[in-house]
Every structure is written in C-alpha cells, then in structure tokens.
Structure 1
Amino acid sequence: MIPLPNGPPAQIPPIQHKFGKESPVERYKRQKRLAAIKNSFKHSWNGYKKNAWLQDEVRPLSGGYKNGFGGWGATLVDTLDTLWIMGMKKEFETAVGALEYLDFTTSPSPTISVFETTIRYVGGLLSAYDLSGEKYPILLAKAIELGDMLYASFDTKNSMPVVGSWKWLKAAKGELQHAPSNALSADIGSLSLEFTRLTQLSGDPKYYDAIQRIMNAFEQSQNTTRLPGMWPVSLNAHDLDFTNDRQFTLGAMADSLYEYFPKQYLLLNGRDKQTRNMYEKSMAVAKEHLFYRPLNPGNLDLLISGSVRQIGAGYDRKNEGQHLTCFVGGMVALGAKIFNTPEDILTAQRLTDGCVWAYQQTPSGMMPEIFEAIPCTDDEDCKWSEERWYKGLIMAVHRVLDTSTRSLKEQAQKIIDKGRLPLGFAKVVDSRYYLRPEAIESVFYMYRITGDKTWQDKAWQMFKAIDSHAKTDIAYAVVQDVRDEQSQLTDTMESFWTGETLKYFYLIFSEPDLVNLDSWVLNTEAHPLRRPQD
C-alpha cells in the first residue's frame, strides 16, 4: 500500500484576495444579484424535486426524467453541497434523508462510468460531509459504500481501473477484468482528489494507494508522448502505452487530468512534489503549443486554448475554442498563487477574458459549445481589420486564398451568412449552450484571487443571458443555437447545472469567506473538499 505522504507541509502562499469592507451601495447591488441567482436555483431544484426525485436528471421541457449516471439520483447527490452553501438547510436535510433509499452496492444500469460516478457522487457526498461539519455520518458512510464499489474497477492485472463503460457486475462476480486498451486521459487521470479525500476522512489507505499508482504511471510517461510534457486524449491503460494517440488538448476528454495536478498538491498541503512537477511541465508545453491570441474587433488582449495534432516532425494546431477548455483560466490563476508565479495571473486573465468575449459576441450572449477563431501569428501584431478577418475566414474554410473570380469580401460574406458567424468567429462547430460551468468557473477564480469587481459585472451579464434564454416552466434547458435570440431548447438539464454552474454564479456574489480558497479545494464538479489543517 502506498500511504498518504507525510512530513512537513510546504509553505503555500495565500490564494484568496483579502477583501476589504464594501459600501452599502455595493452590498445592495451584490445581494440583489445573489437573490436572483438563488431564485434560479430554487426554480431548478423544485423542478427536479417535483418531476424526477431520486432519478438522475429532470427533463426540463416535458417534465419526465432521465437516468444515465448509474440511476442513483445524480442531481440530488451533485446538488447536496449547493443546498448547504445557499443556506437551504431544510432542503439539505430532506435530500440527505433520501440517501437511505439509494443503494450504492448495485445499479439498475449494467455499465457505469467510474469517472462520472467519482466526480459527481463521491465528490458530492464528501463535499456535503465536509461543508456540514461532519454532522451527518450517512454522507461519509455512503461515500465509503460507493468508494468500495468503484475500488473493484481497479482489480486488473496492472491495477489500472476499468474506466469508460465499466461492467460492474463482472467485478461483483469476481470475473477477470482488463484495463482498457483505449481509455480517455481525463477518465483515468481525474480520480485523485476524491479518492485522496476518502482516505483522509476514512483512514483507509486503499483509496489513495489506488490513484497514486495511476499518478506514477502518468509521471513516468510524461516525457515520452508524441508531445513531450503533455498526455494525449486517449491512451492504452492495459499496456501503459501513452504513445499511440496524436491528439493533445486541455479540452474534452483530457481537461480534468491537468486541473487535478495543482488541486491535488493543495489537498496534500504540498507534500506531493510529483503533481507540481507534472503541472509545471505540462503548462509550459500548453503555453507554447495550445494557447493562441484570437483576432477580435475590440483589439482585446485575449487567449484561447486550442488543440494540436502531431503530424510527422511537427504539430498542427486547431484554432478552436471549446466551452470545456474555459476552466483553464481559473486553473492557471490557482496555479499562479499556489506555485508563486505571479506573471501567470495575466495569462489566466487573458484566457478567462477569451471565454467572456466568446459569450459577448453572440446574439444570445452565450458561448457556443465549440467554435473556431482567427489566430494572430504574432502576439504583438493582432490589430483588427475586416480584411484580415475575411482572409482568415477563407483560409479556415478553404485552406487557400483565391481572389481571381470573386472579391475577398464576397467570398467571406458567403461564409459569414451561411455560418451566421458572430464578428471575429471563423466557424461555429457546435452551436449549443449546454448549461456548462467552465467559463463562470474561471470568472469565479479570477474574482476571488484578484478581488477585481469587474469580474462580477462580467458574471452578471453571463447569468442574465442564460436566465433569459434557457429557463423553462419546469427548470432550465440546453439552448440549441446561441446564434439565435429565439433559439429552440433541448429537453436536457444535466446535474452540473445545479451542482456547478449556479454554485459558481452564487459564490461570485456571496460573502467571499464562503468557500474560501485558502481552506477548500473544489473538484472538477465544483464540490469543495476541506484542506486538512496541519
């Protein structure tokens, strides 16, 4: 068994800004916004309670329910800590009482996602236990019950878990399991916070031991991938081969792997130098290969995190912006404070503003799930002109510039009209707003770390846009097309809307000592885990 690291903790600098006293006018404005956000949460929660109690998700248009996360009431468990944070103690106790009806030793689903179950359920239970001062023993008991079920997924020849679609019944029957030959790096690399906290609270070293074996495998492979310093989107967990895939990103399917490095360092109070080294190496590579400055009409100093593919001896960057990469600004800001690299605060600000800009550019005020922008080849030379935008558009679509038959403007206008492109965009790849939290997550970190109140104003504009377009009679729903001010909605509301998105909005306008960043580490599902006080 690999034990929790001991020895003296590292001297970690203060993370959160020291906020001064606010004026009565500032307080009134903040509390008014806070109340509006809480009302949106109550509307969502009541819709779930009335239509989908003990199920995974409510259908916000039809009023039915959907189960896709083990069938254990994902929205209920994912939202426990939000109820506590918003001071809804009676609702919290009702939800905690309902846990008696959830059996985490079995599932109505033949397969479950180890990753999603860990971040939503285990994270949600442990966070509610920590936040409520350990006064509700059932929360830890249920986390252990579920942790023990998930622990069986590690019962493979090389102790790598069966992530992705895990046939849990095979493990329950003691049948032979194999680690997958095609696993997503986020799935296998983002279990550390929850399993570490489970060991810290239960005293059982097996959970930490399980995830530390994974971290060791990632560390050993960091410099041997096709983009040394980062890990590809998919990897062979069966043979511990990290060299097959050529795709690298901080976005979908890889994101939380990187997010957990500085957070794990924090949860272990700096006793684990491994995660610091892995974070610093990977971010140096991301800065060089992934981050780019987008051409934009306001000539704002922005950054977006794209993705790269290794081709031959070089790398081809895709100049996309995924909503899922919008967490990167917050991660870089947190890393800047933990590891005392103040120059990274500007990088974090530019990354976060890149996502805020993407919200502001659409008619609805919401960012699409995936879009592409025009990169400036030189960070200094990024002055907007329509001609430059037109050229970039044509190159993004046709890969070649030809003005022999039609003018630049004519060609570009056709692309703009067909794609209904917001100013500065090159392409809208996926037009949905999925109620996702990543952009507001980074705004939250920027506000709590810098104390700059302009982040609150940016957050409020984002909230108003979502509130006015995504609200239904029952709850809130996915917006199909952010380019349309009267967009159709999709009958989906994932648990992260109440578990993450509304929580981050609320914490931006709450008293700053609520979930203080010097005392709490938030997992990738926005579940605050208490930092042990050494």
Structure 2
Amino acid sequence: MPRVRTRHIAICAVILLWVYYFLPRDEAFTYVYDYGHGASHGSTVAVARYMNDPEFIPLIIATQSSFDWSSVNFTYPPKLTPKLPATFTKRPRIQHKFKRDSRNVAAVQEQRRLEVKRVFEKSWTSYRSRAWMKDALKPISGEYVDQFSGWAATLVDSLDTLWMMGMRDEFYEAVAAVSTIDFGESTTATVNTFESCIRYLGGLIAAYDLSGHEVLKTKAIEVGDLLYAGFNTKDGMPVDFIHFEDAKRGVGLIVESQVVSASPGTITLEFSRLSQITGDDKYYAAVSRLMDVFYQGQNDTQLPGMWPMYVSMSKQDVVSGYQFSIGGNADSLYEYLPKAYALLGSVDASSKKYEIMSRTFMDTAERHLFFRPMIPGNEDILISGNVDILEDGPTLDPESEHLSCFIGGLYALGGRLFNSKKYLDTGAKLARGCAYAYRSFPTGIMPERYNMVLCPGPDPRKPCAWDEEHYTTAAAERVQYKSYLPKGFTTAKDPRYILRPEAIESVFILWRITGDAVWRETAWEMFQAVVNATDTRYANAAIMDVNVIGSKQEDYMESFWMAETLKYFYLCFADPDLISLDDFVLNTEAHPFRLSKK
C-alpha cells in the first residue's frame, strides 16, 4: 500500500476515534466515503460534523492526478504580463432593493421553489444511481455517456446547484467524488478547451467560492494548469482542442486555422477568477493578451464593433468574415465582455478594454441585429437576428435561436453596469421576445431555431400593424415547416427543445434587476411547460418538436440541465439574497464567481 494512502487512512482513523469518544452521540454523525479505484487513485473521506452546524467544512483529502500539469516544460512559455488588476471596489448597484414578500406571495413562491428542487432531486438521484462519475445520464434509457473527457461533467457542473438548494450531504458526497477525479487521464485523445473551461473549471471555481472547500480549489488549479497548457503555442494563442499527450510533453501545439469566435472568447472569466483566488498572475496574463487581439480588431471588421462568427487565432485574424451574430458560435464572446468588467473593473490599463468592447458591441448590435417582428398582438418585443455583409451592404436575416436568448439579460446587466437606461430597456424587450416565443408554441416552449417576419420599412426596430397579406407573402418565401406555425413565425427550422437555459437566464436577470413580479410569473409558466414536455422515468429529456404536445423525446440530457436551467428556475423563486448579482457574476454555464471586495 502506498505511503500516502496509508497516512490518509491513519489521519481519518484518528478523526473517527475522536468523534466516537468525545462528541455527544445525539449531536454528531459520521460518514466514510471511499471512492478508491486501485492503490494509485483512492480517497478516503471522514466527515464528522454537528447536526446544528451547517457551516462545518468536512475533511476531504484530494487525490493528486496522475500527471502534474504545473510541471509541463513549455516549448513556448507564455509571457507573464500584464499583472492581475487591483480589486475592483466601485461597482454600481446591480440588483433591485427587494422588500419582503407578503405572507401569501411568499407561500406561493416557496411552493414553486420546492417544486423546482423536487425536479432537480429526481435528476440528481438518477444520475447518482445510474451514471455516477460519468459525464451525463441518458434520461430515457437510464444509461450514460462520456462526451467531455470522462471527468464526471454532470457531477462537477452540478456542485454549486447542490449548494444553493441546501443539499449539503449530497454536496459533500459529490466533493468527495470530485477529489478523486484524475485530470491526468482522458477518455478522448483531445480535450475541448471551451467545454472544459466553462463546465469543469467554472464549476470547480464556483463551488469553491460558495463553500470555501480547499479540495475544490486544488482541483480547479489542476484543470486550470491543464487548460493553460493549451497556450503553449508560437504566438501564445490558445488551441481549440488540446492534444492530451503532446500537451503533457510540452510540445508546441498547433493553433487551428479557423474556430468559432466564442471558443477563444470564453476564457476570460474563469482564468481571471483563478488568478484572483490563487494569486498567480499567469492565467490572467494569458487570457488578457488573447483578448487584446479582439480589442485591436474590433473596429476593423466588416461590421465595425462586432466580430465575425469565425476567426483565425493562428493568424490572429479576428477581422475577416462576413457573418455576424450573437447566437451560436459567437454568443459567449459577447457575454463575457460586460461580465469581465464586473469582475475586473476598468481602472487598470489591461482591463479597461472590457468596458470599451462592451459598449461598442452593444451599440452595434442594437443598431444592426435587433428587430421588431410583425405579430398579431403588437407586443413591445425585440428579437435578435443575424447580419450578413454582402456587396450591397449589411443584410438583416430575421432568423433567431434559443442560444440568442441570453442577450436580454446581458443588456439588462450592462444597463446597470454602465448606467444606461437604453440598454436596460432593450434588454427587457429582448427578454420579452424570448418569453413571447415560448408562449406562442403549443407546448409553451420555443424551438431551437426559427424565423419571424420583419416589420416592413427602413427601420426594423419600429413597430408595425399586423398585415395578413404581408405575413402570407413572407411565409411563402420560406421553406415551410409542415406542422402548425404561430402567426408571425415563418419557420421552425429546428423544432427541438434540448433543455436549454438561455431564455430563463434572461428572465432571472430581469427579475433580479427590476424586481417586477411579472418576470417570476413568466418563469413559472416556462417551468411548467418545460417539465410537462420533458419529464421521463429518470429525469428530463430533450423533445423533438415544440409544435407537438406529447412530442417524441430524445434520450439526451446534457449537464447544463442541472447546472443552468434548473438553477435559474430555482433562483427565480428563492430568496433574492441567494446569489445576489451584487456579490456574484455568473459564467456562461451559470457558475457564480464571487466579486472581490475589500
């Protein structure tokens, strides 16, 4: 038996003896978890705590991964500047000043909160019993799948949700399991930088920020150093996929010729926060230099102020390209700009760029991407489309998608951060647009991708009266979807709902920023619709067609169902002080990072 494991067992034995002899029998209880996988990958956890002490942090000893990522000898060592900015202390107030709900209202919201928790508990219990330590549960068959390197993505992604819901026993059991994950081995030859950053690194940092458990910090550093190895390239730009064995050897990695802009643009929060909690500037320095490339090219693109959907980090070219969107492929690049400002401020020269980039892209998108659809009720809503730069100039394509629905919440957040009523109003209209799309379809859920009718005229943002003839003509120009389509919609190009969180994300943020109870009612309507359509024997599954009540389900449930979707629903009905937007900024996987304060 290895010496380290023997020492760990001895320590745990001493603790258990102390608990047995000295703690009152009716006030203490003991767990012993052993997730051993052979002599080299084991972790024995002794947990002893008082029943009435929820602040107790149990002893959990991390098992070091089989490879030390901090030991990599880089062929191209990244530069270690700029340094992490000083603590940002002058943030404006973000969250509404809530008053206590009346007794009747509080009772209703508590009932809703518990219902969301019940749905989460069902999914978590099934994952624990049927897919433990695997990346994802299949919610119909009860089988599992590893699609993100086999490091228990659902488990890591759900840690902070367990904490928020007060499921402390389940949380610490999960932490004990996380302590054994071997980030030196992967089920895949390459590691997806983007997904590993937002799910694994983000999940570990957030769980550490909430609980303070050192095991989570230790494992976050392991993942951070793994991802940092992806910057071992000639020009210090990160690769999209890390070749696992080459990265271990320190071989200079080859940056892909073309990637979606969201991939390199979605590292800032995780790396910056990791530098804050470790005091190691290297993570911040790497991502700051990466974002300098986007900053320097922002106004030189074919749609100045925004970046094309595809970029070349190998050439450091974020300018070429004619397709622009805040939807899939680009979304979280834009999402992280105001959030980086919230985390870092703009006093330091290296972080000032985030405020500038935020304001510039928000003004550009408002002018060119958002449109007022022609709908029968003439509701005051906005939808986010796409822009192609053709020979005759920018052309607005009124196609949108569920992934774009984060943008309403982001504009509302920007409205508070940058003291802009215009941004806040725009955010509310965009969030109402996605809520409208949910209500419009028979299941009460919007499709993955769809088209709507533009209001005619030179300014697509101006309202217009419903015109049946114009709608019929516009719809005839599209490839018709065979089933029923609500008025105003011309296609449901992808009619699925795959448990996505973006719409409820914006509803949650608008609720927390405005305090308007209509957003909580909207959240409850959405929750009921989603659960009714997706419920399975084990958990919740994607559905194939939002146009069909009782639609066929797909044996598919990504980790974001518990990490994001149910978390946002829960936070809509929980006490507003839980994850206050004045204390936390959430990454694109809904993981809250604590905002540093002196």
Q: Do both share a fold (TM > 0.5)?
A: yes
Query: Is structure 2 residue 505 aligned with structure 1 residue 441?
Result: yes
1:431 counterpart (475, 483, 495): 495
Native 8 Å contact 1:105 1:145 kept in 2: no
Q: What does residue 218 of structure 2 align with?
A: 141
Q: What does residue 268 of structure 2 align with?
A: 192
- Superposed, 1:74-113 pairs within 5 Å as 74-113=153-192
Native 8 Å contact 1:12 1:339 kept in 2: no
- Which protein has the bigger helix share? 1
SS at match of 1:101: coil
Unaligned runs of 5+ in 2: 1-79
Of 178-187 and 356-365, the range deviating more from structure 2: 178-187
Q: What does residue 403 of structure 1 align with?
A: none
- Superposed, 1:325-340 pairs within 5 Å as 325-340=404-419
Native 8 Å contact 1:153 1:168 kept in 2: no
SS at match of 1:186: coil
Task: Name the CA shift for 1:75/1:231 in 2 (closer, same or farther; >3 Å).
Answer: same
Structure 1 residue identity aligned to 2:571: L
Q: What does residue 285 of structure 2 align with?
A: 209
Aligned mates of 1:308, 1:343 — CA distance in 2: 22
Native 8 Å contact 2:338 2:354 kept in 1: yes
Q: What does residue 579 of structure 2 align with?
A: 515
Query: 1:102-133: per-residue Cα shift (whole Å, max 9, x none)?
Result: 1112212111110110000000000000011x
Aligned mates of 1:364, 1:71 — CA distance in 2: 34
Aligned mates of 1:281, 1:44 — CA distance in 2: 41
Aligned mates of 1:236, 1:43 — CA distance in 2: 43
Aligned mates of 2:90, 2:595 — CA distance in 1: 14
Q: By how many angstroms is 1:518 displaced?
A: 0.4
- Superposed, 1:10-29 pairs within 5 Å as 11-29=90-108
Query: Is structure 2 residue 469 aligned with structure 1 residue 387?
Result: yes
Query: Is structure 2 residue 271 aligned with structure 1 residue 178?
Result: no
Query: Is structure 2 residue 420 aligned with structure 1 residue 341?
Result: yes
Q: By how many angstroms is 1:266 displaced?
A: 0.8
Aligned mates of 1:354, 1:157 — CA distance in 2: 44
Query: Is structure 2 residue 150 aligned with structure 1 residue 71?
Result: yes
Structure 2 residue identity aligned to 1:153: G
Native 8 Å contact 1:12 1:270 kept in 2: no
Q: By how many angstroms is 1:10 displaced?
A: 6.3
SS at match of 1:301: coil
Q: By how many angstroms is 1:500 displaced?
A: 0.3
Native 8 Å contact 1:419 1:428 kept in 2: no
Aligned mates of 2:123, 2:308 — CA distance in 1: 37
Q: By how many angstroms is 1:148 displaced?
A: 0.7
1:263 counterpart (317, 339, 344): 339
Structure 1 residue identity aligned to 2:475: L
- Superposed, 1:266-281 pairs within 5 Å as 266-271=342-347, 272-281=351-360
Native 8 Å contact 2:85 2:344 kept in 1: no
Of 340-349 and 186-195, the range deviating more from structure 2: 340-349
Q: Rg larger in 1 or in 2?
A: 2
Q: What does residue 230 of structure 1 align with?
A: 306
Q: What does residue 470 of structure 1 align with?
A: 534
Query: Is structure 2 residue 369 aligned with structure 1 residue 286?
Result: no
Query: Is structure 2 residue 443 aligned with structure 1 residue 364?
Result: yes
Structure 1 residue identity aligned to 2:487: L
Q: TM-score, normalised by structure 2?
A: 0.84
Structure 2 residue identity aligned to 1:362: F
Among the aligned pairs, what percent are the same residue? 46
Query: 1:410-450: per-residue Cα shift (whole Å, max 9, x none)?
Result: xxxxx47x242122211011000010000000000000000
Unaligned runs of 5+ in 1: 398-414
Aligned mates of 2:166, 2:88 — CA distance in 1: 33
Highest RCO, 1 vs 2 (Cα 8 Å, sep ≥ 6): 1
Q: TM-score, normalised by structure 1?
A: 0.94
1:350 counterpart (410, 426, 429): 429
SS at match of 2:593: strand
Native 8 Å contact 1:447 1:455 kept in 2: yes
Aligned mates of 1:340, 1:145 — CA distance in 2: 38
Q: By how many angstroms is 1:183 displaced?
A: 1.3
Task: Name the CA shift for 1:177/1:304 in 2 (closer, same or farther; >3 Å).
Answer: same
Aligned mates of 2:264, 2:108 — CA distance in 1: 43
Query: 1:260-288: per-residue Cα shift (whole Å, max 9, x none)?
Result: 01111111144322101001111111111
Aligned mates of 2:318, 2:475 — CA distance in 1: 35
Native 8 Å contact 2:84 2:281 kept in 1: no
Aligned mates of 1:176, 1:519 — CA distance in 2: 39
Native 8 Å contact 2:372 2:383 kept in 1: yes
1:458 counterpart (519, 522, 525): 522
Native 8 Å contact 1:269 1:531 kept in 2: no
Native 8 Å contact 2:450 2:491 kept in 1: yes
Across the aligned residues of Structure 1 and Structure 2, the Cα RMSD in angstroms comes to: 1.3
Q: By how many angstroms is 1:353 displaced?
A: 0.5
Q: By how many angstroms is 1:223 displaced?
A: 1.2
Q: What does residue 410 of structure 1 align with?
A: none
SS at match of 1:428: strand
Native 8 Å contact 1:269 1:532 kept in 2: no
Aligned mates of 2:225, 2:589 — CA distance in 1: 20
Query: 1:49-91: per-residue Cα shift (whole Å, max 9, x none)?
Result: 1110000000001111001111100000000000000000000
2:236 counterpart (156, 159, 178): 159
Aligned mates of 1:261, 1:419 — CA distance in 2: 39
Aligned mates of 2:258, 2:161 — CA distance in 1: 35
Aligned mates of 2:174, 2:261 — CA distance in 1: 33
SS at match of 2:421: coil
Aligned mates of 1:152, 1:254 — CA distance in 2: 24
